[in-house]
Amino acid sequence: MSEKIMHVGDADFDNAVLQSSEPVLVDFWAEWCGPCKMIAPALDELAETYDGKVKIAKVNVDHNRATAMKYHVRSIPMLLLFKDGQVHDTQIGAVGKAQLAQMIDKAL
């Protein structure tokens, strides 16, 4: 896993994501979720590619239920792209790296 990926939770979500000066792609995931594990390598690569332009964060829904409920996470993986403290784009389900890169590029 890339050291450029942040792990955030209920306690630090607002500070790390909503107050970020850069767009933040947040991956809502869980240990037991197969599709979540499938997209992890793509997120690692995107964290390296967009380093300095976009932050990538992961929120474990089993440990951070308040944040998951706040953003109506009902199925995972669910990726939300935040820009200026607002949800800019949403992707539900496992998708390829190219589709995630397009989502990020639209926010830049």
Q: How much is the pLDDT for 15?
A: 97
Longest dimension (CA), the chain: 32
For the chain, what is the domain count? 1
Q: What CA–CA distance (Å, rounded) separates 19 from 28?
A: 18
Phi, psi values for residue 106, rounded to 5°: -65, -25
CATH of the domain at 38: 3.40.30.10
Per the annotation, the verdict on 33 as an active-site residue is: yes
Q: What CA–CA distance (Å, rounded) separates 108 from 104?
A: 7
* Concatenated DSSP letters of 76-88: SSEEEEEETTEEE
Choice among 33, 39, 54, 56 that is catalytic: 33
Q: What CA–CA distance (Å, rounded) separates 41 from 85?
A: 26
Q: How much is the pLDDT for 1?
A: 65
Supply the range of the domain harboring residue 48. Answer: 5-107
Q: How much is the pLDDT for 41?
A: 96
- The answer to whether the bond into 77 is cis (omega within 30° of 0) is yes
Q: How much is the pLDDT for 21?
A: 96
Q: Average pLDDT of each block of 10 consecutive residues along the chain (108 residues)?
A: 90 98 98 97 96 97 98 97 97 96 96
Choice among 17, 26, 36, 76 that is catalytic: 36
